A = this chain, B = another copy of it.
Amino acid sequence: MQQRLERASLAASRMLSLETEVKNSALACIAQGLRENRDRIFYANQLDLTAARQNGLAIPLLRRLEFDKKKLDDVLLGIRDILALPDPAGKVLEARLLDDGLILKRVSCPIGLIAMIFESRPDALVQMASLAVKSGNAIVLKGGSEANESNKVLATIIAKAGEEKGLPSDWLTLLETREEVGELLAFDKYVDLVIPRGSKEFVSKIKAESRIPVLGHSDGICHVYVHEDADPVMAIKIVLDSKIQYPAACNAAEVLLVHAAFAHRSLMALLQALSKAGVMLDVCEKAAQILDKDPGQTRNLHYSVKTDKDWAVEYLDMRMAVKIVYSLDEAIAHINHYGSSHTDAIVCASSEAANRFLKEVDSASVYHNASTRFADGYRYGLGAEVGISTSKIHARGPMGLEGLCTYKWLLEGYGHIVSDYASGERHFVHKELPPN
């Protein structure tokens, strides 16, 4: 492992100076390689699928594992999109004249060697490798073991195509066993960042074991809070979209907080709309009391009273928890306590309440009068989406190629030394320059 990571780390150093043209022609060559080797890929995928069926893998997992013509077309489109994006490295982020002829620049650059650990889906491997090429990072990849045959073929084709166009050898390393991942996490000497994608338990385990910084998405406990002055029509529209537009996504809302004053007027209408759309409701006792006042209306309502106190629920399904709160403060405190710092929205008319919510809710994405489902790299206009980070450090929320870059400080002088400034002979001017 040590030798493989050392070689990968050397490749990362060599990739620091890749020109945009080299990266783009590598991406084009990777796309071509995948197209030309489609039969080899489909065959390997069939081996995985056969083994998975024999092992009784569940249907949704089998579907994720499948890599067919449709998936191939999708990843090829993805590569085309990434190819068309501007190079995220080499951008001057700030520039400052420190003194005559002494110019300081902060410039974006690749992070180095990134380990990406994901589950099952072979198409994720292609996407991650493409993002790594465009951002100029070397990568270590580990996919789900049930996709081993597919991943091996894909990694071989991609690594070779990249090398053909000038990427250094060992720019892509594929790990095949879970034990290797455990070993890897100790090598902070070589690996700069670990990005795990998977279940909350999986990400937590990686974080606990790793000496390397981990950037990840653990879970998505997203809230919609309906304030007392919310327009009921807008509230219904936003809550519905947040919950049902794609319930399995991490940015789907799981918990609905309703101000008591709003609830007394319009809770029934709000929950009727959810129920009619097929959402099962777990309501707090207070909400149940409010509903009970109008028993004629509850007949078509699919709800049960939630008696436990665990509001950190992630259903990822047509199910939603509902809680009555008595103030904006209570709503904010609830979200900061039970939420996962992912995406939370307020529906309200007052800009004062909105501003407090936007400022005080400690989440990566905080919305006013918009659906939580907007939390997505494409919708944000980031081009490619690397993932959605619930970490607070480095990158937060929907993460584009910039999340795979860091920066360095470049200083150019003509013999400038510090002792001239310490002696008072020279003085810093610190004049901001236009960054370019």
Seen from chain A, the residues whose Cβ lies within 8 Å of a Cβ on chain B are: 12-14, 16-17, 96, 98, 102, 104, 111-112, 188, 192-193, 207-208, 211, 213-215, 231, 234, 237-238, 240-242, 245-246, 332-333, 336, 354, 356, 358-360, 362-371, 373-375, 379-381, 391-394, 396-398, 406-419, 421-422, 428, 430
A17, A231, A237, A418: most-surrounded residue (chain B CB, <10 A): A418
Q: How many copies does the complex hold?
A: 2
A371 contacts which of B354, B362, B417 (Cβ < 8 Å)? B417
- The contact sample of 28 A-B pairs, CB cut-off 8 A, is A102-B370, A112-B362, A112-B392, A193-B392, A213-B393, A234-B415, A238-B417, A240-B417, A241-B418, A242-B417, A245-B417, A245-B418, A245-B419, A245-B422, A354-B412, A358-B410, A363-B408, A364-B408, A365-B409, A367-B410, A367-B412, A367-B413, A369-B416, A371-B416, A381-B428, A381-B430, A392-B406, A396-B408
Instruction: Determine how close the nearest CB of chain B comes to the CB of A227; give it in whole angstroms.
Output: 14
Contacts A336-B13, A394-B394, A417-B238 known; A411 to B381 CB distance under 8 Å? no
Query: Chain B nearest CB: distance from A335 CB in Å?
Result: 10
Please report the C-alpha to C-alpha distance between residue A414 and residue B231 in the assembled complex, in whole angstroms. Answer: 10
* Contact indicator B370/A410 (Cβ below 8 Å): no
Main secondary structure of the interface of A (DSSP, over half): mixed
**Distance (Å) between the CB of A356 and the closest chain B CB?**
7
| Nearest 5 Cβ contacts at the A-B interface | A241-B417, A370-B413, A373-B418, A381-B430, A234-B415
